[in-house]
Chain A
Amino acid sequence: MGLRRVAIVGAGITKFYRYTQETPKELAYEAAKMALDSCGMTLKDIDCVVLGSAPDAFDGVHMKGEYLLDGAGGYKKPYMRHFVGGGTGVLSPIHGWFHVASGMFDTCLVVAEEKMSSAFPHPAGAFLTIFDHTTEQPLFPTLIWIFAIEMHRFMHRHGYTKEQIAQVAVKNKKNAIDHPSAQLPGEITVQDVLNSEVMAYPVNRLDISPTSDGAAAIVLAAEHVARRVTEKPVWIDGVGYCLDTAYWCNRDLYYPDYLEVAARNAYQMAGIKEPSKEIHVAEPYDPFTYKELHHMEGLMLCRRGESVKLLLDGVTQRDGNLPCSPSGGLLGVGNPIAAAGLMKIIEIFLQLRGEAGKRQVPGKPTCGLAQAWGDLMQVGTVVVMRI
């Protein structure tokens, strides 16, 4: 394709909390500085900066990209912001990849930040305006409604039960115990999930990731730079992203077709023919318990209707054949929207380098995948990485 190879060479991430004292800029700075330090680079070595952040309404700041520029290290550099709702954090590395793969720049600092706590008492209210203003908003929909609507359809079509799906929360919150950024790690049981407050049947409180403040960053480099700054570059071998229509009531929600399109594009680019065998470790997007399963199916990591079996058989545990969300995922580490997606990218980066510490999956994985999802249940973003 005439594109250059691009590697992730450094990463940084903040602690995630429900409320942080630090401003969005301060969080972005901490993550970006850590990413540069991790590969011995300074801002002088960076040719361009891209920034991912979700709805402006969280912060009550329009021109949020411009507002965050200083913290993200974008001062007097080529700088762009991107946004596809929850899918943003995995579009971030794709956006940076374009800049470097094209030959335009040799290095790119990729920063993702979210501070959701500024909207109070709860940022959920800010989501009302994502729905169609005339045909949906008058019914006062919420994000929890529509995700519960999708979960119910997914359960109905496959015959999955709440007890089965709750195992995702048990697994991911346990994995998060070993993640230094984690906001809601813990040892819980299926019964804890079922006994937690009903938010919108079939969704209980422990089926949902928390709202969070946090930031994450990575450094991308063209091959000749990457080999100079690190002995373990992690290559971005495949990228894919795709949006379905915002008419979310006009399709069967049990299966994310748009994610399959994105995944096929990423797999074709990476030369992957059998994803369930060739992907060694995955971070499917898990803002809700069912989403990890829904996404495993859309990513073709298993057949449709088979994800629960893999979960119950332990295949997706850290020591299973296809570890999923070894980081602890959004359910355990937290969900500062854009930063959460980039957290997943960073987890695969660390896993492939063998630097995930207590979270390290066995078997020296060489190929991994991270994925995110969002907008009106309509976007899939996928990155395949190899070492």
Chain B
Amino acid sequence: MLDPERIKNTATKLSFEDIQTKKVLSFKYKPNLKYAWDNGVAIGRYLAELKNGRIIGKRCNSCKRILVPPRLFCELCWRPTDEWEYLKDTGTILTFVVSHVNWDASRVKPGQRYHTPAVIELDGAGKDQGILHLINEIEPYDIRIGMRVQAVWKPPEERIGAITDIKYFKVIGG
């Protein structure tokens, strides 16, 4: 039997205000680190094709998936992947959310659009082969699992070779 009284005395409760008002003293530090990631062979080609307005994957002839994002080896079959394959920029919503919070846990401000990220199964890639992206041009709470979507691209001159060269996916049916 553990002693409840001892447990209660193991820690001292504070609040955020206690820190902000300096009831307890603290030292604050904001790291300012910057990174530039080399993207390797497979993702490098993926980004280059996004700049061209195309989605490319890499086929695994063993499990028959087209891997998106592409990789040089199939993590399931543990073998080198095979041909490069262009995919259509259409797909199906496997699941999505309507997020009222931002990445840092702050809240979406009144009047701004809620975030609507989704897992989108790209046509031809294979069952459950999805990518993470955003849905737009539809009221967030009107989105449904199973809807058909298509990529909306930035104009060519604005593309930089990034996943954000696709602005979002819009609903085209279903």
Assess whether B10 is in contact with A135, with CB atoms less than 8 Å apart.
no
Assess whether B103 is in contact with A17, with CB atoms less than 8 Å apart.
no
Give CA–CA (A213, B1) in the complex, Å.
Answer: 23
Assess whether A149 is in contact with B105, with CB atoms less than 8 Å apart.
no
Is A156 among interface residues, defined by CB-CB distance under 8 A? yes
Is B152 among interface residues, defined by CB-CB distance under 8 A? no
User: Could you say which residues of chain B place their CB within 8 Å of the CB of A252?
Assistant: 94, 127-128
Assess whether A134 is in contact with B43, with CB atoms less than 8 Å apart.
yes
Assess whether B104 is in contact with A357, with CB atoms less than 8 Å apart.
no
B7 interface neighbour in A138, A150, A181, Cβ under 8 Å? A181
Assess whether A60 is in contact with B31, with CB atoms less than 8 Å apart.
yes
* Shortest Cβ gap from B49 to chain A (Å): 13
Greatest chain A CB density within 10 A among B47, B101, B115 is at B101
* Shortest Cβ gap from A312 to chain B (Å): 23
> Which residue of chain B is the closest to A15 with respect to CB atoms?
B11
Assess whether A249 is in contact with B75, with CB atoms less than 8 Å apart.
no
User: Could you say which residues of chain B place their CB within 8 Å of the CB of A357?
Assistant: 1, 4
Assess whether B11 is in contact with A125, with CB atoms less than 8 Å apart.
no
Which of A164-172, A194-202, A219-227, A283-291 interfaces with chain B? Answer: A194-202
Assess whether A20 is in contact with B69, with CB atoms less than 8 Å apart.
no
B104 interface neighbour in A34, A125, A133, Cβ under 8 Å? A125
Give CA–CA (A213, B106) in the complex, Å.
Answer: 21
- 6 example contacts (A-B, Cβ-Cβ < 8 A) are as follows A20-B12, A21-B11, A21-B24, A149-B96, A200-B97, A355-B1
Q: A21-B24, A139-B163 are in contact. Are A180 and B99 (CB under 8 A)?
A: no
Q: A11-B2, A350-B2 are in contact. Are A199 and B101 (CB under 8 A)?
A: yes
Is B164 among interface residues, defined by CB-CB distance under 8 A? yes
Is A75 among interface residues, defined by CB-CB distance under 8 A? no
Assess whether A245 is in contact with B76, with CB atoms less than 8 Å apart.
yes
Give CA–CA (A253, B46) in the complex, Å.
Answer: 24
User: Could you say which residues of chain A place their CB within 8 Å of the CB of B141?
Assistant: 201
Contact count A vs B, C-beta below 8 Å: 181
Within 8 A of A (CB), among B33-76: 35, 37, 39, 43, 46-47, 65, 67, 69, 75-76
User: Could you say which residues of chain A place their CB within 8 Å of the CB of B100?
Assistant: 197-201
Is B15 among interface residues, defined by CB-CB distance under 8 A? yes
User: Could you say which residues of chain A place their CB within 8 Å of the CB of B14?
Assistant: 17, 19-21, 117
Give CA–CA (A122, B62) in the complex, Å.
Answer: 44
Give the number of chain A interface residues (Cβ < 8 Å): 64
- Interface of B toward A, CB cutoff 8 Å: 1-2, 4, 6-16, 18-19, 24, 29, 31, 35, 37, 39, 43, 46-47, 65, 67, 69, 75-76, 94-106, 115, 117-119, 127-134, 141, 145, 162-164
Is A144 among interface residues, defined by CB-CB distance under 8 A? yes
Give CA–CA (A250, B11) in the complex, Å.
Answer: 42
Give CA–CA (A213, B10) in the complex, Å.
Answer: 11
Give CA–CA (A134, B44) in the complex, Å.
Answer: 10
* Shortest Cβ gap from B13 to chain A (Å): 5
User: Could you say which residues of chain A place their CB within 8 Å of the CB of B95?
Assistant: 149-150, 152-153, 156, 253
Assess whether B128 is in contact with A250, with CB atoms less than 8 Å apart.
yes
Assess whether A145 is in contact with B105, with CB atoms less than 8 Å apart.
no
Within 8 A of B (CB), among A246-280: 247, 249-253
Assess whether B16 is in contact with A251, with CB atoms less than 8 Å apart.
no
Give CA–CA (A214, B117) in the complex, Å.
Answer: 33
* Shortest Cβ gap from A354 to chain B (Å): 9
For the A-B complex with A19-B14, A135-B43, A145-B99 known, give 14 more contacts whose Cβ atoms are closer than 8 Å.
A13-B7, A14-B10, A21-B13, A34-B2, A136-B163, A139-B134, A140-B102, A152-B96, A200-B115, A201-B97, A213-B11, A250-B67, A350-B1, A357-B1
